């Protein structure tokens, strides 16, 4: 196997660029005794609430915990149903199962996001929440989803893990539903140096409940109103995220510019790139293209030529071994299953340049026209 010349991500380079500024900031935090909670957490929550145009934000230790606590405060319990797509990261479904509820999968559209028409057809008396996933940094078609939510009185919890900064009709991800859930995993556009996440809401009661639940259910050191979890974010992660939040707009701008380059150079006769609609502002956590044939051959060809790619995700959740007891089968979600055989995630990180993207594109074009 050849040496990787174009990594899928480049976290070491990101750290090298930030190290001089970040180390003194981290040192100031570590020289204080308050490593859990405190000013950095409060600052991050305030900034995120402003950034997402919501009233409240809670800093947590992962996007998965944001989803778990979000569903918990919505009262999801055994026997309930939660509607969600089958092509997300496994956490979207795992949190539903862990609460004893049943994930009701709904197929997706060509842009890989959940199909609102199919949501309404899947509603039963057991449906207690709708969880759209804003996959790849593209917000799901929220206007019809919100209409369905209002019509049936079913709350929306957004899995916005991949979409910080994304807009739909100028409205930010995490501000549509009753609850928005985000990840700050190292691979996200706004990334920590380990696991981290956060939850947004405009509902004060939900904010207070999640805040307490994330810290053992403690309202203070002596009073516990409910049995909770250990889901809080630590000060180091908050410090790093506060620093990186200042640069997020630049990161998004660079990633969007990289997409422009791909659109310019890739031969659309062989590659399908879901277009960005005029009311969308996509942040491209990932850049997922679809190829009509020979996807795995193309992936191997690129690797041999020093280009590292990924697949998000090669096996839909309903076909995973863990989903056996959910009683889904091949053919239940034709579009998601078809896309799983076609999708390929190309490098998109902010440290790529136009020359590198042209090289990647040229190799892809060469593969389909010559090999």
Residue 140 burial (CB count, 10 A):
31
Let me know whether 331 and 208 are in one domain: no
pLDDT at 34: 79
Q: Which helix (H) or strand (E) holds 369?
A: helix 354-370
Final residue in a domain of this structure, among 208, 225, 245: 245
Per-residue burial over 30-55, b = 16 or more CB atoms within 10 Å of its CB, e = otherwise: eeeeeeeeeebbebbbebbbebbebe
Structural domain count, the chain: 2
pLDDT at 1: 42
Per-residue model confidence (pLDDT) at position 225? 85
E strand or H helix that includes residue 83: strand 81-84
Q: Which domain holds residue 348?
A: 248-370
Residues 148 and 237 in one domain: yes
| Residue 140 and residue 282 share a domain | no
Task: Assess whether 175 and 189 both reside in one domain.
Answer: yes
Final residue of a domain: which of 226, 245, 264?
245
Return d(Cα 215, Cα 213) in angstroms, integer. Answer: 5
Query: What CATH number is associated with residue 337?
Result: 3.90.1150.10
CA distance 2 to 24: 38
* Last residue in a domain, options 230, 245, 260: 245
Whether residue 254 sits in one domain with residue 221? no
Do 231 and 259 share a structural domain? no
Q: Tens of pLDDT along the chain (371 residues)? A: 445 689 999 999 999 999 999 999 999 999 987 788 889 999 999 999 999 999 999 999 999 999 999 999 999 999 999 999 999 999 999 999 999 999 999 999 999 999 999 999 999 999 999 999 999 999 999 999 999 999 999 999 999 999 999 999 999 999 999 999 999 999 999 999 999 999 999 999 999 999 999 999 988 888 898 899 999 999 999 999 999 999 999 999 999 999 999 999 999 999 999 999 999 999 999 999 999 899 999 999 999 999 999 999 999 999 999 999 999 999 999 999 999 999 999 999 999 999 999 999 999 999 999 99
Report angle CA 307, 312, 314 to the nearest 5 degrees.
Answer: 100
pLDDT at 3: 53
Q: Is the pTM of the predicted complex or chain greater than 0.75?
A: yes
Quick check: is 1 in a domain?
Answer: no
- Helix then strand then coil, in percent of the chain rounded to 5, is 40, 15, 40
Collect all residues with Cβ–Cβ distance below 8 Å to 166 and sequence separation of at least 6: 134, 137, 138, 139, 160, 172, 173, 280, 281, 282, 283
* 205, 187: one domain: yes
Predicted pLDDT of residue 187: 97
pLDDT (0 to 100) of residue 35: 85
Same structural domain, 261 and 324: yes
* Three-state helix/strand/coil letters over 262-322: HHHHCCCCCEECCCCCCCEECCCCCEEEEECCCHHHHHHHHHHCCECCECCCCCCHHHCHH
Tell whether 136 and 270 lie within a shared domain.
no
């Amino acid at each position: 196997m050849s040496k990787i010349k174009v990594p899928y991500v480049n976290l070491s380079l990101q750290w090298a660029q930030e190290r001089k500024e970040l180390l003194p900031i981290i040192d100031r935090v570590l020289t204080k005794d308050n490593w859990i909670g405190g000013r950095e957490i409060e600052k991050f929550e305030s900034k995120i609430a402003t950034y997402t145009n919501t009233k409240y934000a809670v800093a947590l230790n992962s996007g998965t915990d944001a989803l778990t606590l979000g569903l918990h405060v919505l009262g999801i319990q055994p026997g309930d149903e939660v509607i969600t797509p089958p092509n997300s990261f496994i956490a979207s479904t795992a949190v539903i199962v862990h609460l004893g509820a049943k994930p009701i999968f709904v197929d997706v559209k060509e842009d890989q996001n959940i199909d609102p028409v199919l949501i309404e057809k899947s509603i039963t008396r057991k449906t207690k929440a709708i969880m759209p996933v804003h996959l790849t940094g593209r917000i799901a078609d929220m206007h019809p989803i919100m209409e369905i939510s209002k019509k049936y009185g079913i709350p929306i919890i957004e899995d916005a893990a991949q979409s910080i900064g994304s807009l739909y009709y100028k409205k930010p991800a995490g501000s549509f539903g009753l609850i928005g859930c985000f990840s700050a995993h190292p691979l996200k556009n706004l990334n920590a140096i380990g696991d981290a996440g956060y939850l947004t809401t405009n509902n004060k009661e939900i904010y207070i409940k999640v805040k307490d639940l994330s810290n053992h259910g403690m309202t203070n050191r002596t009073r516990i109103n409910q049995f909770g979890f250990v889901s809080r974010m630590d000060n180091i992660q908050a410090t790093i995220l506060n620093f990186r939040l200042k640069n997020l707009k630049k990161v998004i701008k660079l990633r969007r510019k990289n997409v422009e380059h791909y659109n310019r150079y890739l031969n659309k006769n062989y590659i399908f790139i879901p277009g960005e609609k005029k009311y969308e502002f996509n942040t491209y956590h990932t850049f997922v293209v679809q190829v009509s044939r020979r996807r795995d051959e193309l992936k191997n060809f690129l690797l041999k030529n020093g280009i590292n790619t990924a697949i998000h995700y090669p096996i839909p959740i309903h076909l995973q071994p863990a989903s056996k007891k959910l009683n889904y089968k091949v053919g239940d979600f034709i579009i998601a299953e078809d896309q799983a055989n076609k999708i390929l995630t190309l490098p998109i990180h902010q440290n790529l340049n136009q020359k590198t993207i042209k090289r990647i594109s040229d190799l892809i074009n060469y593969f389909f026209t010559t090999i």
